[in-house]
């Protein structure tokens, strides 16, 4: 009887498999999806070669017939997506049916960035009140799509599908590991509009902006032109790409580490301190593997340390390839065997496994040298001692135990006179265009309303470059998405009162909306920090607002000094939603603060005027504004007193003064890593950091 049941089950499984359609759709088209409403879209798919494919959408019950190519099975079709509604079905029949069920017509937003966009509601993120938020996350009108993390060197069409397995209805189980910022945005917009909202989360923690820009666009961005040109010249051959990385990194290191005592003129293949003939008798000794924060002499050190160990190789292992299992090293290493470079890797979480060619492995004493550059954080080795080995076949040599070491270069002494961008490994999530190719390009055929972006931490220290890089990314995405579709504007309601008199309106833009989060306040609070790298990066972000369709969500008041991942993602989602609801969907609620316009000086006081921005309201009266600094002709900054001027609905000016600066020439607001600042609008939205000067002390 049991055998009979198994046979019947097997037969049923085979029948189900045989009945499945040969139709293959773009990977973003799955059951439970949201299609961008009021859109005409032209799409490509494949089916049985030469077959007639019947396509039926339940919203109009019309069937279109197309013929698949006889050689490839490719076919093209059009969808005319109606106004918001559903659920619908989409049926594709090439003799076997493929049915997409529970399909909604609504609003679709593509969400991307690094860890603060990736940060899940629960998971490792644990937002404020996460248990309550998860428990209440049953929202049939919200649909979630998680993108898997993948790197590629050329634009891909296959969609990398993450834990949602395509589109999924928002439930407590699905939202736990989904982007909190994207979810809270979708919840707010869906509740306000009463329609379906779909959010795609394509993000990767710790990644820089250049990973998310197409290589074509990077060709015109400062610091990436040479790399882009040389990468195109490889023809995207993997061996040539790896060789390009080795060449570029050697070139970069010669420039940046020219004053490293361990090298001869910065040449990584002339490592004086990796030579067996060099004496390390005066060096320090420490048992490895260990993280530097556990070694008193290294716990506060960022920079370059050389570490050496003698390895006694038995005669039976001589002449055989030797595999070094070094584990993860924080942050960068170059590894040498008997003075010969055998490997180099960047990235604190990348495993180091190098093979020493047998011709370099001799019986007796051999020298293993690892040069480590720690750019910040713990530094050192993360491997367990029992797994810290050299292996040849079935023979194993332990590498744990005493190593000698010496510092060669403090991080503050590392120079970059030509402002060269550090090359990264081809398999790294930092590789230029690597994430655009794999996690953005596959979605170009998907119609969207717009984009949400939360990124910038990994570009701190490169603010001048980021200004042009970020704007290149925005223009790149706006130009590439929706090329195969005609998305109708959202029907905006007419103003119901006089509130719009006090809010500047922008003409409807044809550019796709791009709403981003400015970096939050973070790190130790300091009253004066004119060369803050975080402030400089925020300023570079601010300038992107000059582009059509771009809006900035200010985040300067809800960050955390000791956590780069602020927990109040509910407010992040709400403020992003305010931008979309006002500027994209025509709602009346204010969404932004006014922008700084100009500075006049009268009687030793700086008078700052503000210009209404689209969707902004008036400044809130404040007689004790925190966060302003002021400088005179000597360019020395001082904490300033500041207060608003005006009353009621017409507060557009701030007065800034300091007795130590009788002749003001420049003013900055909220210019620090973690500023204390309290200038806001009457609706409670914060004014973002800004400066009146254009001094070149920004990096």
Would you say residue 497 lies in a domain? no
Question: CA-CA distance, 576 to 657, in Å (whole number)?
Answer: 34
The pLDDT of 63-91, averaged and rounded, is 97
- Beta-carbon contacts of 18 under 8 Å, excluding residues fewer than 6 positions away, are none
What is the per-residue pLDDT for 496?
52
Name which of 1-10, 184-193, 235-244, 506-515 the model is least confident about. 1-10
Percent of the chain exceeding pLDDT 90 equals 83
Reduced to 3 states, what is the DSSP secondary structure of residue 435?
helix
What is the per-residue pLDDT for 494?
61
Statement: residue 7 has pLDDT above 80: no
Statement: residue 183 has pLDDT above 70: yes
pLDDT band for 252, please (50, 70, 90 cuts): confident
Give the domain-ending residue among 360, 379, 413: 413
Statement: residue 10 has pLDDT above 60: no
| SS3 sequence of 495-530 | CCCCHHHHCECCCCCCCCCEEEECCCCECCCCCCCC
Give the domain-ending residue among 382, 413, 444: 413
Would you say residue 301 lies in a domain? yes
Statement: residue 497 has pLDDT above 70: no
Q: How many CA atoms lie within 13 A of 604 on its CB side?
A: 8
Would you say residue 611 lies in a domain? yes
What is the per-residue pLDDT for 508?
67
Tens digit of each residue's pLDDT (9 = 90 or more) over 318-336: 999 999 999 999 989 999 9
Statement: residue 498 has pLDDT above 50: no
Statement: residue 16 has pLDDT above 80: no
Name which of 397-401, 470-474, 610-614 the model is least confident about. 610-614
pLDDT band for 495, please (50, 70, 90 cuts): low
Would you say residue 324 lies in a domain? yes
Q: How many CA atoms lie within 13 A of 541 on its CB side?
A: 29
What is the per-residue pLDDT for 394?
93
- Beta-carbon contacts of 250 under 8 Å, excluding residues fewer than 6 positions away, are 267, 268, 269
Tens digit of each residue's pLDDT (9 = 90 or more) over 531-548: 999 999 999 999 999 999
Domain count, the chain: 2
Tens digit of each residue's pLDDT (9 = 90 or more) over 187-210: 999 999 999 999 999 999 999 999
Would you say residue 525 lies in a domain? no
Token output for 107: 């609003």
Q: Kindly report whether the peptide bond that precedes residue 289 is cis, defined as omega within 30 degrees of 0.
A: yes
Question: CA-CA distance, 14 to 16, in Å (whole number)?
Answer: 5
Statement: residue 399 has pLDDT above 70: yes
Statement: residue 419 has pLDDT above 80: no
Statement: residue 499 has pLDDT above 60: no
Statement: residue 501 has pLDDT above 70: no
Tens digit of each residue's pLDDT (9 = 90 or more) over 123-150: 999 999 999 999 999 999 999 999 999 9
Q: How many CA atoms lie within 13 A of 684 on its CB side?
A: 6
The pLDDT of 640-660, averaged and rounded, is 90
pLDDT band for 258, please (50, 70, 90 cuts): confident
Question: CA-CA distance, 252 to 419, in Å (whole number)?
Answer: 10
Percent of the chain exceeding pLDDT 70 equals 94
What is the per-residue pLDDT for 648?
63
- Beta-carbon contacts of 243 under 8 Å, excluding residues fewer than 6 positions away, are none
Question: CA-CA distance, 279 to 273, in Å (whole number)?
Answer: 8
Would you say residue 280 lies in a domain? yes
The pLDDT of 374-395, averaged and rounded, is 91
Q: Which domain holds residue 273?
A: 266-413
The pLDDT of 619-624, averaged and rounded, is 95
Statement: residue 220 has pLDDT above 80: yes
Would you say residue 429 lies in a domain? no
Question: CA-CA distance, 199 to 142, in Å (whole number)?
Answer: 8
The 10 Å Cβ neighbour count of residue 668 is 27
What is the per-residue pLDDT for 637?
97
Tens digit of each residue's pLDDT (9 = 90 or more) over 81-122: 999 999 999 999 999 999 999 999 999 999 999 999 999 999
User: What per-residue string of b and e applies to 284-314 under the rule 16 or more CB within 10 Å gives b?
Assistant: eebebbbbbbebeebeebbbbbbbbbebebe
Token output for 277: 């003939």
The pLDDT of 583-597, averaged and rounded, is 95
Under 8 Å between Cβ of 251 and 267: no
Name which of 248-252, 411-415, 605-609, 633-637 the model is least confident about. 411-415
The pLDDT of 58-70, averaged and rounded, is 97
Q: What is the DSSP letter of 581?
A: I
* Average pLDDT of the chain, as a whole number: 92
Name which of 163-167, 255-259, 437-441 the model is least confident about. 255-259
CATH number of 402's domain: 2.60.120.260
Give the domain-ending residue among 383, 413, 443: 413
- 180-193 vs 569-579: helix crossing angle, rounded to 10: 50
The pLDDT of 502-508, averaged and rounded, is 51
Statement: residue 15 has pLDDT above 70: no
Statement: residue 253 has pLDDT above 90: no
Would you say residue 685 lies in a domain? yes
Name which of 239-248, 266-275, 414-423 the model is least confident about. 414-423
């Amino acid at each position: 009887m049991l055998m009979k049941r198994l046979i019947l089950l097997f037969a049923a499984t085979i029948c189900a498999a045989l009945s499945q359609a040969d139709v293959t759709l773009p990977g973003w088209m799955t059951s439970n999806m949201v299609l961008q409403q009021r859109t005409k879209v032209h799409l490509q798919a494949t089916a049985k070669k030469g077959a007639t494919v019947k396509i039926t959408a339940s919203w109009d019950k019309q069937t279109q017939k197309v013929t698949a190519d006889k050689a490839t099975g490719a076919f093209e079709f059009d969808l005319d997506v109606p106004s918001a509604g559903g659920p619908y079905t989409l049926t594709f029949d090439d003799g076997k049916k493929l049915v997409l069920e529970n399909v909604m017509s609504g609003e679709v937003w593509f969400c991307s960035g690094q860890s603060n966009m990736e940060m899940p509601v629960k998971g490792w993120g644990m937002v404020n009140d996460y248990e309550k938020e998860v428990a209440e996350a049953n929202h049939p009108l919200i649909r979630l799509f998680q993108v898997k993390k993948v790197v590629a060197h050329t634009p891909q069409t296959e969609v990398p599908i993450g834990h949602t397995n395509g589109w999924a209805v928002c439930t407590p189980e699905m939202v736990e590991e989904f982007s909190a910022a994207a979810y809270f945005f979708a919840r707010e917009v869906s509740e306000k509009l009463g329609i379906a909202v779909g959010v795609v989360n394509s993000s990767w923690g710790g990644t820089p902006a250049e990973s998310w820009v197409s290589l074509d666009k990077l060709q015109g961005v400062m610091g990436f032109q040479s790399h882009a040109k040389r990468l195109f010249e490889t023809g995207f051959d993997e061996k040539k790409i790896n060789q390009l990385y080795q060449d570029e990194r050697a070139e970069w290191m010669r420039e940046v580490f020219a004053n490293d005592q361990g090298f001869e003129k910065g040449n990584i293949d002339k490592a004086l301190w990796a030579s067996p003939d060099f004496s390390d008798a005066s060096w320090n000794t420490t048992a490895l593997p260990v993280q530097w924060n556990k070694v008193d002499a290294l716990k506060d050190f960022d920079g370059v340390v050389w570490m050496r160990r003698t390895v006694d190789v038995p005669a039976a292992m001589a002449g055989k390839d030797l595999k070094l299992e070094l584990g993860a090293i924080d942050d960068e290493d170059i590894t040498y065997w008997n003075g010969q470079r055998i490997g180099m890797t960047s990235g604190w979480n990348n495993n180091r496994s190098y093979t020493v060619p047998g011709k370099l492995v001799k019986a007796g004493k051999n020298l293993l040298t690892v040069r480590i550059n720690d750019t910040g954080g713990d530094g050192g080795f993360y491997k367990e001692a029992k797994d810290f080995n050299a292996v040849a076949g079935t023979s194993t040599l332990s590498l744990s135990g005493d190593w000698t070491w010496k510092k060669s270069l403090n991080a503050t002494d590392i120079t970059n006179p030509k402002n060269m961008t550090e090359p990264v490994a081809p398999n790294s999530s930092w590789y230029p265009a690597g994430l655009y190719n794999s996690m953005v390009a596959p979605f170009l055929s998907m119609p969207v309303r717009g984009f949400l972006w939360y990124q910038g931490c990994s570009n701190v220290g490169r603010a001048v470059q980021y200004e042009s890089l970020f704007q290149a990314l925005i223009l790149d995405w706006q130009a590439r998405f929706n090329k195969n579709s005609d998305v109708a504007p959202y029907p905006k309601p007419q103003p119901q009162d006089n509130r719009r008199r006090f809010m500047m309106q922008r003409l409807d833009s044809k550019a796709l909306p791009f709403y981003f989060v400015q970096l939050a306040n973070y790190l130790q609070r300091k009253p004066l920090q004119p060369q803050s790298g975080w402030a400089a990066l925020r300023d570079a972000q601010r300038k992107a607002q000059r582009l059509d369709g771009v809006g900035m969500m200010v985040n300067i008041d809800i960050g955390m000094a000791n956590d780069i991942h602020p927990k109040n993602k509910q407010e992040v989602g709400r403020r992003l939603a305010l931008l979309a609801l006002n500027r994209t969907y025509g709602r009346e609620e204010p969404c932004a603060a006014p922008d700084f316009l100009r500075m006049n000086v009268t009687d030793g006081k700086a008078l700052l005027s503000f210009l209404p921005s689209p969707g902004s309201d008036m400044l809130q009266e404040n007689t004790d504004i925190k966060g302003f600094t002021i400088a005179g002709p000597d360019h020395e900054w001082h904490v300033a007193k500041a207060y608003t001027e005006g009353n009621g609905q017409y507060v557009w000016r701030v007065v800034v003064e300091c007795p130590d600066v009788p002749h003001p020439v420049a003013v900055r607001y909220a210019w620090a890593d973690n500023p204390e600042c309290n200038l806001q609008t009457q609706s409670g939205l914060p004014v973002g950091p800004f400066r009146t000067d254009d001094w070149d002390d920004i990096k």
